[in-house]
Amino acid sequence: MIRYSCFFRSPLGGVGGAILKRGAAGCLRRGGSGSSPTSFCWRAGARGRLPPLYLTLILTLFLFLLSCKQNTSTINDNAALRIISFAPSITEILYELGLDENLYGVTQFCKYPAQVSQKSKIGGFTDPNYEAVLRLKPNLVIMLKDNHTLTKFLDKNSIRHISVGNDSVSEIIESVLTIAKACNAISKGDSLVKRLRLQLEIPPANVYNRPKVLLCVGRDNPGSGSVSKSFAAGSASFYNQIIEAAGGVNVFNDISQSYPSISSEALIRFNPDIIIDISAAYMNPNLDEKTVCDDWEMFKNVSAVKNGEVHCLFGDYLTVPGPRLAMAAERFKSIISSWVKKNAGA
């Protein structure tokens, strides 16, 4: 009596071509470049022929492997990506990577580019609309780090997710690479990172006289006629490198906090050469520059105020830590370069 045995191994391993080869010891082998071959082996009698039953079994297993391969490639296919973004900076990165067609949901705070208004809204970072998330059937959710509640919800519903940071320029650049890799857009991600690094490169310290810059990122009641409680960019914020890339020195470079509060005494003591106020950039876009800048006139003895170097800027590109940071760096550079020219030889 002839004894037969049949087995297979690595049924999901590799992505090689679907090729059947008869090798030594009577094996049908499916394999390809870079894959672990899947083998079907038997022990045959003198004529080495398979009975119909085992042939049927082998063909069935082979078709099963093909279907597994096809399902895997579909998941990795960009056309099948259904992405939800939980931050404006993430949304802007996705558009820069050309993934707008794969973006199905965004937060209520995602405003750029203009066409993002047509995307479904899924709440915000702190108050996500879970029903909307499930309704959109995403297979990739991208969010900022440390959102533990949202993470638990996504894990519970078996929704793939990744988290990125944006506290520093290095984190922003890393987030581009992470998102690009997750979305099969590595080449575009590398190009974007190269451009950002070039635009945010810090010039050598001895290139020219660097002004001390105070960047006010938020304060109470801009345009009210005075400056009360306010916050500045510290050394731990992503703005610190933008100021340096623009050719300035952050007046709070020695303060390790991201956004320290500024007292009137501290402002007078640090005596910045330039004040850049972006406190009204996003929350109060209807205010005009002169109205906001006039608030600082109460500090007449501070160099920036005395020399007309208070600059109040508007635009959400100043507040979203994403690809448009390069625009902020260029605007800061224009202000600082003008100061350098006026103070050349001083």
Q: Which of 266, 270, 279 is nearest to 311 (CA)?
A: 279
For position 321, what pLDDT does the model report? 95
Q: Which of 8-12, 87-91, 195-199, 268-272 has the lowest mean pLDDT?
A: 8-12
Q: Could you tell me the pLDDT band of residue 35, with boundaries at 50, 70 and 90? A: very low
Q: Out of 51-60, 69-78, 201-210, 317-326, give the one with best mean pLDDT.
A: 317-326
The three-state secondary structure class of 215 is: strand
Structure tokens, 5: 């045995």
Full strand arrangement of the beta sheet holding 38-41: 20-23, 27-30, 38-41
State in Å, rounded, how far the first CA of the chain is from the last one: 104
Contact predicate 287/222, CB 8 Å = yes
For position 52, what pLDDT does the model report? 60
Q: What is the pLDDT of residues 74-97, one digit of tens each?
A: 345 666 899 999 999 999 999 999
Contact predicate 212/283, CB 8 Å = no
Q: Which of 111, 110, 104 is nearest to 132 (CA)?
A: 104
Could you give all domains of the chain from N- to C-terminal order, each with its CATH number? 20-76 (no CATH), 81-199 (3.40.50.1980), 212-342 (3.40.50.1980)
Contact predicate 151/139, CB 8 Å = no
Q: 206 pLDDT exceeds 70?
A: no
Q: Could you tell me the pLDDT band of residue 203, with boundaries at 50, 70 and 90? A: confident
What percent of the chain clears pLDDT 70, i.e. is strictly above it?
74
Burial of 87 (0-12, 13-18, 19+ CB in 10 A): buried
Q: Could you tell me the pLDDT band of residue 281, with boundaries at 50, 70 and 90? A: confident
Task: Find where tokens 């850049």 sit.
Answer: 276
The overall average pLDDT reported for the chain is: 82
Interior/surface letters 36-55, b for 16+ CB within 10 angstroms, e for the rest: ebbbbbbebeeeeebeeeee
Residue-level length of the chain: 346
Q: Which of 49-53, 222-226, 240-244 has the lowest mean pLDDT?
A: 49-53
Q: 49 pLDDT exceeds 60?
A: no
Average pLDDT over residues 280-309: 90
Q: What is the pLDDT of residues 122-175, one digit of tens each?
A: 999 889 999 999 999 999 999 999 999 999 999 999 999 999 999 999 999 999
